[in-house]
Structure 1
Amino acid sequence: MTVTAIRPDGSQEQLAEDILQELQAHFRGAVLAQEGAQDATEPCPPWNAMFTDRPALVTRCTGTADVADAVTFARDHGLLVGIRGGGHSVAGLSTVSDGMLIDLSAMRGVQVDPVRRLAHVQGGALLGDVDRETQTFGLAVPLGRVSETGVAGLTLGGGYGHLNAKYGLSCDNLVEAQVVTADGRVLTASAEENPDLFWALRGGGGNFGIVTSFTFRLHPVGPMVGFAGTFYPLADLGEVERRWRDYALDAPREVTTFIVTMTFPAAPGMPEVIHDRPVAIVGAVHCGSDIDAAMAELQPLRELGSPLFDMSQPMPYTAVQSAFDPFFPRRALRAYWKSQYLEHLPDDAIDAIAARALDRPGPMSLVNTFRLGGAVHDVGAEETAFPERSAPFMVSFDSMWTDPAQDRAAVAWTRSAWDQMTTYGTGVPFLNFTSIADEPLDAGVGSAFGRNLDRLRRIKTTYDPDNFFRLNNNVLPLG
C-alpha cells in the first residue's frame, strides 16, 4: 500500500509500503496510514469539531526516541507536519489534513519529586494527569481551568489558571524542557543550557521544537482551597461586574478571580432556578492554607447582587480544576474564540461586555472577563517570550455551537464583539484564546509578541530555519 501525503508547498509525496515498514521496524509506537489513523482507539482526539482530523500518516509516539525518529522521517521525506499533545487547541493547531501527525497524546506520565518540589511531565499529559499526581503531596503547578487541556499547548502559550495571581503563569514555573528540534536532535533547555531556546519556549508556542518532557516548579496548594462560585442573573451583569472589578483590583494575591457568562444547562444535581437560564458566574480560588480565612476573604464576591444560587465552599483543588470540564466536551463543539487585553475596565467597557453577553450567538457561547496581575506582573515583558505583563484584565468571546450551518454567523458575531472591545482594549490577543478560520497562520502573532517578536524570529532561525514547525501561531524565520 502506498500512502500519499502532502508537503508544505501542497505537492504530494508518495510513501511506499516498504518505507513505512522500515519506520515501523524501530518505532515503539504505532505507525498508522490513511483510514487506520482515525480508529476508535485514538488516545486524544482534537477538541474543536470545526477541524477535520484526517492526516495521511500518524505516528503515535511512546517516548522521546519515537518523536525524534518521527521528526527525522518527516524531514527526510519533506512532509507537512502537525503536532498533537493534549489535542485541545481551539484554533485546530493539534491536527493536520493530509500531512503527517506526530502524536504525543499517549505520553502522559507525571513524576513528582516532593523534596525538590519538581514535577516531570511528559509532552502529551493533560492538566488532570498533573493535578492527580501533585496533589498526592499537597503540591500544584499553576495550570489552566479545564482538566482535559494539554499541558504542552497551555505552557508553551503562557498558561492562565486558578493560581496565577499567587504563582504566575505556567510558563513562569517551567525550569527545564527536553526538546526535539527540527533536525531531530534532542536538547535540554534551561536557564543554564540552551538558554535562548528556554526563553523562547516560555510563551513562544510550538515554533521551536517538540517538548517531550517539562520540568515544573511546584507550590504548596490544597488539598482543599477556598472556592467562590456565585450565580447571578445575567441581566444584572453590569452592576455585578462593577462591584467585582472594585473587589478584584484590591484582592490579595492568594485570590485569582474571573466572571463567566453563559446559559447554564439543566445539569443533574444543580437547582432548577439556574436550569437553561442565562447567568453570570463570579468565580474565584483562594489558595491560602487557612480555609476559614480564605472563605472570609471571598465573601464579598457572594454579595455583589442578588444571587440565584451560590455553590461557594471549601473544595478539593482537583474538583475546582475539573469543574468546568462538562462545558468543553471533546469533539462535540464547534468553536471560534477571540480575546484581548484591557488596560482599564471602565463602566462603559463593562456595559459593552454586558450587552454582548446578553446577545450571545447561542446558549453554549461564553463572554468572560479575567482579572490578571499579581505574580504575572512580577515578570518583566522581556524576561520570557510571553510579553503581556501589565494588563489588569482580559476579555474573551468564546463562541461554541454544534450545527455547521451556524459557522458563518458565530464567527461574524465573535469578530464583531472583539472589534467593539478594541474601543476599550489594547487589541492585543492572547493566542491560546484566539481562533484561526480564514486568517493566515501568523495572524495576531506580531501584536501578541510585540517587541519580543524580533528575538523570537532570530531563535526560530537558529533552531528551525526552514519553518518545519509551521502549523502553530507561526513565527517566521529570518530571510
Structure 2
Amino acid sequence: MAAALHPTLLTDLRAGFAGEVLTPGDGEYDQARTVFNAMIDRHPQLIAQCANPADVAAAIAFGREQGLEIAVRAGGHAVSGASVNDGLVIDLRRMNSVVVDPEAGVARVGGGALMSDLDRATQPYGLATTGGRDSSTGVAGLTLGGGSGWLERKWGLACDNLLSVKLVTADGELVAADEDRHPELFWALHGGGGNFGVATELTFELHELPAVTVAMLVWQPEAGPRVMRHFVDFMATAPEEVGGGFVYFTGPPEDFVPAGLVGRLAAAALLTYTGGEAAAREVFRPMLAYGHAGEMIAELPYADFQCMLDDPPGERNYWSAEYLNGFPAEAVDLFCARAADMVVPSASMHAFFPMGGAVARGEDYPVPWRAAPWAVHPFGVWADPADDARGRQWARDVRSDLLPWSIGAVYLNFIGDEGADRVAAGLGTGNARRLAAVKSAYDPENVFHLNHNIVPA
C-alpha cells in the first residue's frame, strides 16, 4: 500500500476546493469508494468529490504532482471497476445538473449525471434522447463509449445525439469541443471513451417522445429456440420505431410471469415502441399471436420504463458481448443452449439485441460495431462468490459459440478488461492512428489510462 498523503498537502488541496476531499477513515469514504460491481474492492488514497470544473483541474494537478494514478467516476458501472483505484478518484457525482431548453430541443448535462437525472429532467417536456438500459448508468461514460440503448434504432446511438462536450484535459485546461471547435477531439469523443480528459458537461439533441409502449412476453424456456427464430424474422422487417431484445432470465415475482416460472429460467421477448399502445399493438401483432405464457403491455413515460429493468447494486458482475453479421437457425440454437449455463436464480440476462435502423446510418465515428445487425450480450449479475467462475465461463462460452458470425468489432461499454486486441476491435483498426494522434494532443503522458486505453502516438 502506498504511503499516506501528508496532512499539509491535503489541507492545501482542500483550501480552494468547492466539493469534498475524502481519505480513508472519513465517514463517507467507504460508501464513496463502492462501485456497481461488488467484485471490485479498492481503497483510494484520495476521493475528490468535485463540484465544478475548477475542482476537477485541481484534482488532476494534485494527482500528477503526487504521482497518483487517476481514475474518473460518475455512474461507476464499468464491469472492470475502472472508475475506482488505489490512488486518486475524481468523483463527478456532485456535478449532476441537467438544464433543458425545450425550445431549442437540447439538454446540457453535468459530467456526473446519471441516466435517471437526464430522463427525469426531459420527461416533463415530452422529450428524450437515446440513453442506456439502466437508469443508474452514468451519462458521460455511456455516451463517450458510443451509447447503446432502447431508442437507438429510431434516433441513433447516444453519441449520435451529442452536440458538444466540455472537458478538462490532463494539463488542467477546460476545452469545449464540437463540430467547429476542436473537431478532431469531438470526433474522438464519439466512441473513444474517457481517454482524452474529464468530461464536465455534455449537450444533447432531444426528440419528441411523450410516451413509449413496452411489451414483455414470456415463454417456457424450452420454447426459446422456436420463439427466438420468430423474433429474428420479426425484427428483420420491423419499423425503426420498434426496439427491444430477446432474453433468458430468472422469472421475477410479477403478475405477468406464470407461477411455475417465478425463480426459474424463462424466455422472453421485450418489445419497445416509440409511440402509443394502439399503434404498438398493431406493429407487435406477429409476436402477440405466438402463444406466449405471460404478458405485460403498457404505455408509460420513457423515464419510468428506463428504471423498470435496473440491475440490483451490490452484486457481482461479469459481462461480455459479440456483434454479429447474421443470426441463422444454427446461431439461435447455440445461443439458446447456453442459457442452461446461466446462474439461476440471479439477475443475469442472456440477452440478444437487434440493431440496424438509425444506428447503421450514423456518422463515421470510431464505433465500428454500429454496422452489425445483431448483438449478443451475456450479462451476468449474481450474489454468491462461489458462482464467479461459472458466471465468467458462461459469458466467454457464449462469445466463443457465436464467433463464426462475428463482425469482429465490439461495443467497449459492454466488455471489461479483455485485452488490447478487443480494444482495437472496439475502436476500429482504421481509426487507430487518428485516435492516437488525438490522444497525443490532449493527454500525451497517458494520465487517463484506466479505461479501454488508447496509447499516445
The question of whether the paired residues in 1 share the 8 Å contact of 2:257 and 2:295 is answered with no
Counterpart of 1:9 in structure 2 is none
Cα distance in 1, alignment partners of residues 30 and 81 from structure 2: 20
Shift, 1:294, TM fit = 2.4
What pairs with 1:69-468 in structure 2 (closer than 5 Å)? 69-96=58-85, 98-222=86-210, 224-267=211-254, 272-288=259-275, 290-304=276-290, 306-325=291-310, 328-331=311-314, 333-364=315-346, 365-380=348-363, 383-436=364-417, 439-440=418-419, 442=420, 444-450=422-428, 451-468=430-447
The question of whether the paired residues in 2 share the 8 Å contact of 1:127 and 1:148 is answered with yes
Cα distance in 1, alignment partners of residues 336 and 256 from structure 2: 28
Q: TM-score, normalised by structure 2?
A: 0.95
Between Structure 1 and Structure 2, how many residues are aligned?
455
Name whichever of 70-79 and 466-475 sits farther off. Answer: 70-79
The question of whether the paired residues in 2 share the 8 Å contact of 1:295 and 1:314 is answered with no
Q: Quick one: structure 1 residues 37 and 452, their matched pair in 2 at CA, closer, same or farther if it must change by over 3 Å? A: farther
Cα distance in 2, alignment partners of residues 145 and 301 from structure 1: 22
- 3-state SS of 2:405 partner: coil
Cα distance in 2, alignment partners of residues 409 and 246 from structure 1: 32
The question of whether the paired residues in 2 share the 8 Å contact of 1:37 and 1:55 is answered with no
Cα distance in 1, alignment partners of residues 8 and 258 from structure 2: 60
The question of whether the paired residues in 2 share the 8 Å contact of 1:228 and 1:301 is answered with no
Shift, 1:273, TM fit = 4.1
Query: Structure 2: which 5+ runs fail to align?
Result: none
Cα distance in 1, alignment partners of residues 200 and 324 from structure 2: 34
Cα distance in 2, alignment partners of residues 68 and 292 from structure 1: 51
Note if 1:18 corresponds to 2:3.
no
Shift, 1:267, TM fit = 5.0
Cα distance in 1, alignment partners of residues 421 and 17 from structure 2: 36
The question of whether the paired residues in 2 share the 8 Å contact of 1:156 and 1:204 is answered with yes
Shift, 1:38, TM fit = 5.3
Note if 1:58 corresponds to 2:47.
yes
Cα distance in 1, alignment partners of residues 451 and 193 from structure 2: 7
Name whichever of 201-210 and 447-456 sits farther off. Answer: 447-456
Shift, 1:443, TM fit = 5.3
Which 4+ runs in 1 deviate beyond 6 A?
A: none
- 3-state SS of 1:165 partner: helix
Name whichever of 451-460 and 370-379 sits farther off. Answer: 451-460
RMSD: 1.8
The question of whether the paired residues in 2 share the 8 Å contact of 1:228 and 1:302 is answered with no
Shift, 1:406, TM fit = 2.6
Q: Which amino acid aligns with 2:63?
A: A
Shift, 1:359, TM fit = 2.5
Shift, 1:158, TM fit = 1.0
Name whichever of 277-286 and 192-201 sits farther off. Answer: 277-286
- 3-state SS of 2:404 partner: coil
Q: Quick one: structure 1 residues 69 and 443, their matched pair in 2 at CA, closer, same or farther if it must change by over 3 Å? A: farther
Q: Quick one: structure 1 residues 35 and 258, their matched pair in 2 at CA, closer, same or farther if it must change by over 3 Å? A: same
Aligned counterpart for 2:448 among listed residues 461, 469, 478: 469
Shift, 1:423, TM fit = 2.2
Q: Which amino acid aligns with 1:448?
A: G
Shift, 1:341, TM fit = 0.4
Shift, 1:37, TM fit = 7.3
Q: Quick one: structure 1 residues 312 and 267, their matched pair in 2 at CA, closer, same or farther if it must change by over 3 Å? A: closer
Q: Quick one: structure 1 residues 56 and 50, their matched pair in 2 at CA, closer, same or farther if it must change by over 3 Å? A: same
Shift, 1:40, TM fit = 6.2
The question of whether the paired residues in 1 share the 8 Å contact of 2:368 and 2:409 is answered with no
Query: Structure 1: which 5+ runs fail to align?
Result: 6-11
The question of whether the paired residues in 1 share the 8 Å contact of 2:258 and 2:293 is answered with no
- 3-state SS of 1:389 partner: helix
Encode CA deviations 1:352-380: one digit per residue, 9 max, x unaligned: 00100133244323211000011111124
Name whichever of 191-200 and 403-412 sits farther off. Answer: 403-412
Shift, 1:407, TM fit = 2.0
Cα distance in 1, alignment partners of residues 82 and 176 from structure 2: 24
Counterpart of 1:36 in structure 2 is 26
Q: Which amino acid aligns with 1:178?
A: K
Shift, 1:271, TM fit = 5.3
Shift, 1:176, TM fit = 0.5
Shift, 1:120, TM fit = 0.5
Q: Quick one: structure 1 residues 128 and 415, their matched pair in 2 at CA, closer, same or farther if it must change by over 3 Å? A: same
Q: Which amino acid aligns with 1:357?
A: A
Identity %, equivalent residues: 39
Q: Which amino acid aligns with 1:77?
A: Q
Q: Which amino acid aligns with 2:20?
A: A
Name whichever of 427-436 and 448-457 sits farther off. Answer: 427-436
Q: Quick one: structure 1 residues 376 and 77, their matched pair in 2 at CA, closer, same or farther if it must change by over 3 Å? A: same
